Structure 1
Amino acid sequence: MRPMNFQKVFVPLTGLLLLGLSYRSFGWSGVAVACTGIVMFLLLHFTRTMQVLKRAAERPIGYVASAVMLNAKLKPNVTLLHVVAMTRSLGELKTPKDQQPETYRWTDGGMSYVEAVFLNGKLQSWTMTRPPAEADAAADAPQEGGTPPAA
């Protein structure tokens, strides 16, 4: 059984409480003003969500400009929408669809990547992985011909 998400209960109850207090203090005109405020709040959040998704739709899935910078900016308990807004890209889903926790990956041009684990839409943990450096790979590769490198 999933733990109760208090935001799903708290926000509607706050709206109802605001409507009740508005009616008690100012009558139906108070309810009209409170409803206007609630609708404005909902429209602002809807507009922000659509802008984030519009920007993310214009970039490849799972791409980020710099995995190092993303790793530095991440904080526990931020929402998936916030991370998508930071990366301006939808993450590449690594777990089966609709399975909790969800793991997403963002990769940069240098093949470094950040894997982030989200539980109920909130960031729980993340890891950054860098590919082996080319200098290390060249040193490990067998030398062909010529003299051996000096010690």
Structure 2
Amino acid sequence: MNLRKFLIPLGIVVLVIAAWRAYGPQGILTVSGGLVMWGLLHYTRLMNVMQKARHNPIGYVGSAVMLNAKLKPGVNLMHVMAMTRALGEQLSAEGQEPEVYRWTDGTKSHVTCKFFNGRLASWELVRPAPGEEPAAES
């Protein structure tokens, strides 16, 4: 169960009630302004990540080895997209858990990431052997 679905709205409601009790209508206006600013900051970050990602092919990363070194468990998909500056190649069926994405570099090394509830759970770096031709995937 994803508690964020319940805790964030509950926290907002508690914040609005506390603002009402402390400052009345002025408190609600202040909290509402802060929440709108918070939403706009997230929207702006999403748009910046997507604008940077549009210049690279889907599933491409400059260096799979460097991506592997930078990944940490628990980060969200948007954070990984910001690091790679590209959308990942989706390997899992849409809407299926875990979501599986792959990023490949120019040397055919690739990082396959698994996301549970939108958070990075595990990843795997695969590097082809020197002189080995990569196998065709179906």
2-structure distance, mates of 1:66, 1:9: 38
1-structure distance, mates of 2:47, 2:3: 24
When the two chains are superposed, the root-mean-square deviation of aligned CA atoms in Å is 0.9
2:13 aligned residue (11, 16, 20) = 16
Structure of higher RCO (CA pairs closer than 8 Å, 6+ residues apart): 2
Alignment match, 2:136: none
Matched, 1:82 2:79: yes
TM-score by length of 1: 0.84
Provide Cα deviations, 1:129-148, integer angstroms capped at 9, x if missing partner. 111112xx5xxxxxxxxxxx
1-structure distance, mates of 2:27, 2:48: 32
TM-score by length of 2: 0.92
Structure number with greater Rg is 1
Alignment match, 2:129: 132
2:2 aligned residue (2, 5, 8) = 5
Aligned residues: 132
Q: Which runs of 5+ in 1 are unaligned?
A: 138-151
Equivalences for residues 76-115 of structure 1 within 5 A: 76-115=73-112
1-structure distance, mates of 2:20, 2:3: 26
Alignment match, 2:67: 70
1-structure distance, mates of 2:120, 2:128: 24
1-structure distance, mates of 2:34, 2:124: 41
Provide Cα deviations, 1:12-64, integer angstroms capped at 9, x if missing partner. 11111111111101110111111101111111011111111121122100000
Structure 2 SS opposite 1:58: coil
Q: Which runs of 5+ in 2 are unaligned?
A: 133-138
